[in-house]
Amino acid sequence: MTRTAPDPLGPAMLGPVALRNRVIKSATFEGSTPNALVSDRLIDFHVAVAEGGVGMTTVAYLAVSPEGRTERDQIYWRPEALPGLRRLTDAVHQAGAKVSAQIGHAGPVANSRSNKLPSIAPSAGPNLLALALDRRATVDDIRRVIRQHGEATRYAIDAGFDAVEVHLGHNYLASSFLSPKLNRRKDEWGGSLENRSRLPRMILETVREAAGDQIAVLAKMNMADGVPGGLWLDESIAFARTVEADGHVDALELTGGSSLMNPMYLFRGDVPLSAMARTQTPVLRLGMKVFGNAVFKKYPYEPMYFLEHARQFRQALSMPLVLLGGITDLDAMKSAMDDGFEYVAMARALLREPDLIRKFEADSRTRSTCIHCNLCAASIFTGTRCPLVLGSAPVPR
């Protein structure tokens, strides 16, 4: 029987959750959580995309432990954070959308200087983000982080979230364990793909145990790290097959790149190096001047830039998949459905126009006004926003 592609703007189930459409606002760290607590700005940010028509928005990023934050003002799961998060989920629900919590541990992407706590990684080594050293995670650390993912999931249920999205990408902790470049361990957590997969698989098992069928579980995973010697499709597809066989995840969102070694692989488009440098300390600013061009490699923007990689996952798997990366119009969403993807995720186009989905509903020929300048990526420490939106201003700190 031939499959009829679903309408991207029609209702759909995601695990136990009923969505009004198949569009997910993908995680964009909002930089709006002073003292690691929810602010009115964070709530307004998500209400705007909810009122703008998405099926589900994603709050990013909620660390499972204090040393797992990328910087000290980022929320980590603890009782004091719950009342604010409950206000946020209530407000999003009132606007008709569902809301997911991106949970994870930043590992080597954590800024230990900002957190005032050592960062952990599969293997010890220099950390250029903090100009410090990553500590090699002990087996106790690993078991604690796995347990903390379960605790985070229980907190997310208490706070009214409809889903959790486990961060397995961008060389955060779970992704760095998967990466043959970053994981040089010789114990049962390193070496073979089976060993490198152990941490992410145990995290997903623990998250599912905590979630039961109360909320949906997604995982955002790297198809490729985008660096020589890093995770590549042969292993990432094999890993995704084991995730499918384990059966703990309702949908996989497919990404790529390394926040440590190749951030532009995530985004594509312009490299706003000077705007990024302005947000850094003088020492890091100097570091960006010296190493900036090597780390921030240029990738020309292309619509649906992860499609060719993601199609290989589609062929290898039968579980629901979320296509991400350069999706900015209704034609792209429909072609993703034709290709067998169940959902699409969008980041920058919704930073530029939070009401873009309503505009598609009103006129299917609507085109996004996002120009892939990536200035929004430089805004994450002063309140994530599209600076091209009139009236957008940095958040005073």
Ligand X SMILES: Cc1cc2nc3c(=O)[nH]c(=O)nc-3n(C[C@H](O)[C@H](O)[C@H](O)COP(=O)(O)O)c2cc1C
Residues that bind ligand SF4 (CB under 6 A): 348, 351-352, 370-376, 386-388
- Provide, rounded to whole angstroms, the least separation between the CB of residue 124 and ligand X: 25
Select the binding partner of residue 375 from ligand SF4, ligand X, none (C-beta < 5 to 8 A, by kind): ligand SF4
Q: Which is nearer to ligand SF4, 164 or 370 (CB)?
A: 370
- Provide, rounded to whole angstroms, the least separation between the CB of residue 187 and ligand X: 28
How do the residues of the chain divide into helix, strand and coil, expressed in percent and rounded to 5? 40, 15, 45
**Residues in touch with ligand X (CB under 6 A):** 26-29, 60-61, 102, 167, 169-170, 220, 255, 266-267, 324-327, 346-349, 376-377, 380, 384
- Provide, rounded to whole angstroms, the least separation between the CB of residue 389 and ligand SF4: 7
Q: For the purposes of burial, counting CB atoms within 10 Å of the CB of 73, is it exposed (0-12), middle (13-18) or buried (19 or more)?
A: middle
Q: Where are the alpha helices (DSSP H) in 21-134?
A: 40-51, 82-94, 112-115
Cα distance between residue 21 and residue 49, in whole Å: 13
- Provide, rounded to whole angstroms, the least separation between the CB of residue 155 and ligand X: 18
CA-CA distances (angstroms) from residue 393 to 82, 124, 180, 254, 328? 27, 39, 41, 31, 24
Select the binding partner of residue 156 from ligand SF4, ligand X, none (C-beta < 5 to 8 A, by kind): none
Q: Which is nearer to ligand SF4, 208 or 352 (CB)?
A: 352
Select the binding partner of residue 373 from ligand SF4, ligand X, none (C-beta < 5 to 8 A, by kind): ligand SF4
> Can you give the length of the chain in residues?
397
Select which of 76, 155, 172, 343 is catalytic: 172
Cα distance between residue 176 and residue 184, in whole Å: 10
Cα distance between residue 167 and residue 165, in whole Å: 6
Phi and psi based region of residue 273 (left: phi greater than 0; alpha: psi -120 to 50; beta: remaining): alpha
Catalytic residue at 172?
A: yes
Q: Which is nearer to ligand SF4, 214 or 392 (CB)?
A: 392
The residue written with tokens 């409950």 in the block is: 86
Q: Which is nearer to ligand SF4, 114 or 382 (CB)?
A: 382
Catalytic residue positions?
A: 172
